[in-house]
A and B are shown apart, each in its own frame.
Chain A
Amino acid sequence: GNSVTQMEGPVTLSEEAFLTINCTYTATGYPSLFWYVQYPGEGLQLLLKATKADDKGSNKGFEATYRKETTSFHLEKGSVQVSDSAVYFCALSDGGATNKLIFGTGTLLAVQP
């Protein structure tokens, strides 16, 4: 079945460091891919998305490219801030009759000043 695997956390970085959070997926067909972010005490917010191969989603300095050949959608940011501290979830939309979202287990990012 469809699934999402993302790197385990926590990831601890200093401010202005480069961030990569790995995400790989298993899916039949051509799913849409998403990154959601959950700040402390809040629900999930859509961070970025990509709907087809080679698409790059971007928002708030974060980027991710839909790589069909490696079935990956890694999240990157060139210079993290303390305010980026949150849990990041990779997800795919299964594109079936229900178009459900399938989530990874989440990666906690802690950015230290």
Chain B
Amino acid sequence: DVKVTQSSRYLVKRTGEKVFLECVQDMDHENMFWYRQDPGLGLRLIYFSYDVKMKEKGDIPEGYSVSREKKERFSLILESASTNQTSMYLCASRLRDFSNQPQHFGDGTRLSIL
């Protein structure tokens, strides 16, 4: 089975801090994604990556950046955390960009910015 592991289940940070969320997958998937999940809004795509060192903006990239130096790892960076970035963050991976391949999700990181 595909395993997508997010480094923290819960994280509390302060406004203005630089925050790193880490995601690792063990199935050699090319594609990786970062979403945020908010009540009533579903999942919204922040950034995705086709492959190593490649990245594309999703629907809500403002205030975020990403890094993909190795195929198995995809990091989400909050450059200067703000309270409106308090949310659940979900990482996912997928075997290439074929439309009928499912995305596999981690368990999420619940981030609180104080």
User: Which residues of A approach B to under 8 Å, CB–CB?
Assistant: 31-32, 34, 36, 41-46, 49, 51, 89, 93-95, 98-101, 103-106
Contact = CB atoms under 8 A, between A and B. Distances in A.
Contacts of B92: 43-44
Given A104-B42, A105-B40, A105-B42, A43 B105 contact: yes
B71 to A, nearest CB: 18
B99 A105 contact: no
B58 A32 contact: no
Contacts of A99: 97-99
B58 A100 contact: yes
A32 B94 CA distance: 15
Contacts of A31: 99
A43 B58 contact: no
Interface of B: 4, 33, 40-43, 45, 48, 56, 58, 90, 92, 97-100, 102-108
A20 B29 CA distance: 34
A51 B102 CA distance: 11
Given A43-B4, A43-B90, A95 B105 contact: no
Nearest to B38: A105
A31 B98 CA distance: 11
A98 B99 contact: no
B42 A51 contact: no
B39 to A, nearest CB: 9
Given A46-B102, A105-B42, A98 B90 contact: no
B45 A100 contact: yes
Contacts of A41: 107
B45 A49 contact: no
A100 B100 contact: no
Contacts of B58: 100
Contacts of B104: 46
A15 to B, nearest CB: 26
A90 to B, nearest CB: 9
B42 A93 contact: no
A43 B34 CA distance: 12
